[in-house]
Structure 1
Amino acid sequence: MAVIDLGEYGAGFLADPYPYYAKLREAGPVHEVVSPYGDRVWLIVGHDEARAALADPRLSKSPGVLGLKMLDEDVIGPYLLVVDPPDHTRLRRLVAREFTARRVEALRPRVQQITDELIDAMLPAGRADLVGALAFPLPIIVICELLGVPAADLDRFRAWSTEIVAPSSAQAERAAVHELAAYLDELIEDKRCTRPAGDLLSALLRTRAEDGDRLSAAELRAMAYLLLVAGHETTVNLISNGVRALLAHPAQLDALRADFGLLGGAIEEMLRYDGPVENATMRFTREEVRYGDTVVPAGEAVLVGLAGGDRDPARFPEPDRFDIRRDARGHLAFGHGLHYCLGAPLARIEGATAVRTLLERCPGLALDPEGGPLDWLPGLLMRGARRLPVVW
Structure 2
Amino acid sequence: MPTSTELIATADAHSAHNYHPLPVVLSSAEGAWMTDVEGRRYLDLLAGYSALNFGHGHPRLTAAARAQLDRLTLTSRAFHHDRFADFCVRLARLCGMEAVLPMNTGAEAVETAVKTARKWGYRVKGVPDGRARIVVADGNFHGRTTTIVSFSTDEEARADYGPYTPGFTIVPYGDLAALAEAVDEDTVAVLLEPVQGEAGVLVPPPGYLAGVRELTRARNVLFIADEIQSGLGRTGRTFACEHEGVVPDVYVLGKALGGGIVPVSAVVSSRAVLGVFRPGEHGSTFGGNPLACAVALEVVAMLEEGDHQRRAAELGDHLHAELALLAGTGRVTGVRGRGLWAGVDVDPALGTGREISERLMAEGVLVKDTHGSTIRIAPPLVISKEDLDWGLDRLRDVLAA
TM-score after normalising by structure 1: 0.28
Considering fraction of residues, name the structure with more strand: 2
Of the two structures, which has the highest relative contact order with CA contacts closer than 8 Å and spacing of 6 or more?
Answer: 1
TM-score after normalising by structure 2: 0.28
